[in-house]
Structure 1
Amino acid sequence: MWTEQDNALTCAFRFKDFRTAFSFMTDVAEEAEFQDHHPWWSNDYNTVSFRLCTHSAGRVVTAKDHGLAAAIDKLATAYQGKELAS
């Protein structure tokens, strides 16, 4: 579940291994390009963490962030990612 904190949406997902996490990140990168909205993210082996905010709106959460979060959720489901508690 995405959590709004400090003017950003945050969430993390765990995958079965690094290769799966990286494949997921590649698909997220394609989606981010399509939406022209790019996340802050980090990767630690099989875990991918996100922080979404809209820089052009003053670094606050907007509909663009919610749209990208929904797309990320769909991709995580396709890759059988497990959402981690915030």
Structure 2
Amino acid sequence: MADLLDDAAVTEALRDLPDWTREGDALVLTAQLPSFPAAIAVVDRVAETAEQADHHPDIDIRWRTLTFRCSTHSAGGITDKDVRLAGAISGYVQAARG
């Protein structure tokens, strides 16, 4: 099982994830994409990455607005797995925005 990050480690990680916030026991990003197909393409990329890592975010899809919540449920909060996945998601979002 992954170890929980303490508050200082989460704060430090968020410095490298400027579009993300902490909401309780999760890292959260809400992103608007240029179109619905662009949003779904990001979700597809995230799904592939998450499946390979065996670590899956919660994803809310509202037309072209996506909200990602990364939390390691088995550990009860935020772990390094969430930080790595959040970094990958940020890359996919930025690429889709052009």
**TM-score relative to the length of structure 1:** 0.88
Structure 2 residue runs of 5 or longer lacking an equivalent are: 1-18
The C-alpha deviation readout for 1:21-43, integer Å capped at 9, x for no partner, is 00110011001011110001100
Q: How far has the Cα of 1:5 moved from its partner?
A: 1.6
State the aligned residue count.
80
Q: Does 1:15 align with 2:26?
A: no
Aligned residue runs from structure 1 range 48-67, under 5 A: 48-58=66-76, 60-67=77-84
Aligned AA (1:40): D
Q: Does 1:72 align with 2:85?
A: no
Partner of 1:84: none
Aligned AA (2:87): A
Question: Bigger radius of gyration, 1 or 2?
Answer: 2
- Identity across aligned pairs (percent)? 40
SS in 2 for 1:4: strand
**Alpha-carbon distance in structure 2 between the residues aligned to 1:5 and 1:25:** 21
**Alpha-carbon distance in structure 2 between the residues aligned to 1:2 and 1:62:** 15
**Alpha-carbon distance in structure 1 between the residues aligned to 2:82 and 2:42:** 18
Large movers: runs of 4+ above 4 Å: none
Q: Over aligned residues, Cα RMSD in angstroms?
A: 1.1
Q: How far has the Cα of 1:56 moved from its partner?
A: 1.3
Structure in which a larger fraction of residues adopt strand: 1
Partner of 2:56: 38
